[in-house]
Chains A and B, each alone.
Chain A
Amino acid sequence: MLGEDAVRVALAGGAEEAEAFQVRGRTISISVEKGAIKTASSIRFTGLGVRVSLGNKLGFAYASNPKEGKGVGEEALKNARAAPPDPDFKGLPEPRPVTLIEGLLDPKIKNLSVEEASSLLMSAIESSKVSPKVVSVNGKLEASYYEIGIYSSKGTDVREERTSFNVFLEVASKDGDRRGSSLDFADGRYLGHLKPEKLGRNAGDMAVKVLDSTKVGVEELPVILEPKAQVSIIPFLVDSAANAENIQYGRSFLSDKLGKEIADDRISIVDDGRIPWATGSSSFDDEGIPTRKTYVIEKGTFRSPIYNWYAAMKEGKESTGNAVRGYNRLPMVGAHTVSIEAPDLKMSKEDLLDVRRGILVSFTFDTPNLANGEFSGLAETAFLIENGEITKSLRQTNMAFTLIDMLRSIDGVGDDIITVQSLRGGSIRFKAKVAGPG
């Protein structure tokens, strides 16, 4: 066992504590360019990362595909010797009892062949050709099976097999001189949840719709963000803004807001690491601490940041099981799956769209500013709503709001719930300033 060897070598060399994080697995990846398969790949990988401590000095080393753990353990120890002390480092994580959850390993992905993966992607690609106006489709599908193992001198010894997939489609359209494009994506841990035809059709339909576009001026309007437009915004509230490390260092606009009301009291925001088949789920985090459900905002009040071991120890608290890392990084703090709980604001998508004038945003890729909580970005794929009807696509439309204003003005949460990336939820509606090209 590579990890055990690395830990043993480090301890034998004089380390006080040592921990090995090991991942091994296989990724199948298919990419399509202009409707044709461009590259198929199948890659097996192993990675080992080792943390070693000497008092409050911490060293880290990693290697991809090491033949043995010894060298990595020695290198980490050497780094610990060279590292200056960190007064806030209080030791590597203590083991905590872990209850394994279901819904992390799909045997179909584990045994997926490249042929099957190609057929799935090609079926999405073919389905996106909804009209002669669709001129080109690109896409990518990745499916991974991997095993994570964490072993430490403190007694942590956990391992788990997981699977995941993600698909991304990009469709270009053309009508005379007008050009348009759209996209769609999906991910998860269970391949049965992927509906390639639906995904393809949706990306194709959208690419055709955006050809007929109009513009807005500078206006304050109800904005409806569909779930996929929220993936860079709502999880950000937890992943970055309520990230204990960002709070402790004063980087986040939530740094001085703990215990304060920051949202409408009908709104709670939770992070949950134990939802079956969600990409963000696992039985334990990347330090071997069990995952859990954390109320970050509870009925409008900022209740708790999310913690990994280091950040929790700094405050004398318990880790919330939010350590995230790759084999080549030290553990950071990160969210699992974030959702808005607001039963009093729940409504149908139709009711949500029932505004005199507003905009519906399908995708945006911008993220808010961590320091001041302001969002100012492009509504990448957006539509004008007039009298409850989606009329035309909008081009070049910026939207701007602060996250706290958003949390206070959300007046509807849709029942069109999906799980995508770190988000689980339906569309949301709130007021924001939008600015078109004039």
Chain B
Amino acid sequence: MFKQQRKHPSRHIITVKIALPIKTPMELEEAISLALDDGVDFIEVREEKSLHTVIRMVDGVVREFSSGNEYRISVRSLFEGGWGFGVASSLEELEEAVRDSVKLAKLSSKWSERVEPEWPSFAGKFETKPKKPPWEIGPEEKLDLIREQDDQARSYERVRNRNVLYLDSLRDVRIINSIGTSISQRISRVRMSTHIYAYESGITESAFESKAGSGGLEILEGLNLGEEAAKRAVEALAAKPSPPGKFPSILDPKLAGVFIHEAFGHAAEGDSVLSDQSILTGKIGQSVGSDMVSVVDDPTWEGLYGSYRYDDEGSEAKKKYIVKGGILSSFMTSLESAYRLRTRLTGNARSMSYDHPPLVRMSNTYIDRGDWTFEEMLSEIKEGIYAIGAIYGYTDPAKGQFMFKAEGGWLIKDGELKERLREVAIAGMTLEVLHNVDAIGKDLKMDPGTCGKQGQFVPVTTGSPHIRVKELVFGGR
């Protein structure tokens, strides 16, 4: 069960100058020869150093001011289809980690299907170039950005609790493997979020806003996350429970983005397809939605939270249409899943950190623009629900059943927004819903998030314009 939650990565810090110990290729390359001598079919070495900052302010008080640094080298070996994974905490331990991974790969191979490493190799270097690198900026400037968001929320009456979280990270990775890949990549990411609670006459409501990207502090300047979240939390105090049942509905870009990520994107991940855990197995070239639906995954979109140039197997990242005009056109793949599915390598292998082997993951995933305006969509609905914001969602990719939680909504009557609704649960069968999409807006918006799969959380972006669905099941209360 794959679950996405608006979880905040827990490891972050304030640090100014720390030299990043990028080792010379020779030392890592010795590990490659060592494993090949031991008879493995493939070996990959990933050296990773990361720096993190977290500052958390609650009701104007800094509750957490922390910094951290992490360094490891992970080694992954393939032997007759079985993978072994070992981790070294320093170059001195590298040899042991290599031997571990080889031993483990041989052990796994007893129960594995063979795979030949007939894969392309990549070489190159990539670095995000932040205008304001977080590691060169002192704590005061970061605190000012946080206070600005806190002040915005404080100015709202009925706001009871204000939470502002600032995170920055610098992840420096070097990957080499036995088929010639040698890449290095340094990505700086920043994130600011607000979670605001409002209270009146025994009722408490909350709203969440966030902004994140790859780059520096320039991404977090001039934001109004405090104001936006406070406004919505206060507005929700007067909201009514949603009526349960089936309604024509409009999903706002945030919610539609989470929907396409959770309900559809996970099913298009090559490992889900291979393991028969996907409703999309065997459906390439077939219709999976209304012909106005196109879905894209694009890690190369510069500056977004889920962006990268090379994935965590060192493969070059590619923009691809998963769905074009309603037809399933591509899966997202890693080295192994591309080989097993006999399909294109898309550079979607990602790992949360050094102690996890890469899995097939999304990057920046969105429903492409249509040509409707929100007003046009609204005007044609007699009675329905406009659902807004996403708290979390999850999906069962094998059954094609999804559930997601919207922060709230509006009751639509005769083409107008009539009444504000509280948090609602929406459930459905993914492909039915995609076939029922009958309008897509022009207003594509991208929203950062953190996606969890098998215990690994990675930064992603989900996006969409407003979309209209002929009918959706609402849980109500």
Interface residues of A (CB under 8 A from B): 29-34, 36-46, 58-65, 67, 75, 79-80, 82-84, 86-88, 114-115, 118, 122, 135-136, 138, 140, 170, 172, 174, 179-181, 183, 210, 218, 249-253, 255-256, 326, 328-330, 365-366, 369-372, 374, 376-378, 380, 395-402, 433, 435-438
Contacts and interface: CB of A to CB of B under 8 A. Distances in A.
B86 A179 contact: no
Contacts of B422: 372, 374
B59 A433 contact: no
A158 to B, nearest CB: 23
Nearest to B278: A172
Contacts, number: 262
Contacts of A59: 65-66
A400 B476 contact: yes
Given A371-B197, A372-B203, A396 B428 contact: yes
Contacts of A210: 399
Contacts of B161: 249-251
Contacts of B108: 30, 37-40, 118
B236 to A, nearest CB: 9
B118 interface: no
Nearest to B81: A36
Tell me which of B1, B85, B104, B274 has the highest count of chain A C-beta atoms within 10 A of its own C-beta. B104
B64 A60 contact: yes
A174 B400 CA distance: 13
Contacts of B423: 369, 372, 374, 376
Contact of A61 (B66, B72, B203, B241): B66
Interface stretch (B8-16, B210-218, B322-330): B8-16
A65 B72 contact: yes
Contact of B276 (A29, A60, A136, A255): A136
A286 B13 CA distance: 21
A258 to B, nearest CB: 14
Contacts of A378: 401, 403, 425, 427, 475
Interface string B177-198: 0000000000000000000010
B87 A63 contact: no
A398 B62 CA distance: 39
Contacts of A179: 279, 398-400
B477 A433 contact: yes
A376 to B, nearest CB: 4
Given A250-B161, A433-B244, A41 B275 contact: no
Give the top 3 A-B pairs by smallest Cβ distance, nearest first.
A398-B475, A136-B276, A378-B403
A39 B84 contact: yes
B394 A365 contact: yes
Given A37-B111, A87-B61, A42 B104 contact: yes
A374 B1 CA distance: 23
A140 B271 CA distance: 15
B65 A82 contact: yes
13 contacts: A34-B274, A40-B85, A40-B107, A65-B89, A75-B13, A83-B139, A174-B276, A370-B206, A374-B422, A398-B425, A400-B476, A401-B477, A438-B246
Interface string B1-41: 10100000011011100000000000000000000000000
B89 to A, nearest CB: 4
A40 B10 contact: no
A398 B65 contact: no
Contact of A398 (B113, B203, B427): B427
A32 to B, nearest CB: 8
Given A251-B206, A371-B204, A435-B244, A172 B58 contact: no
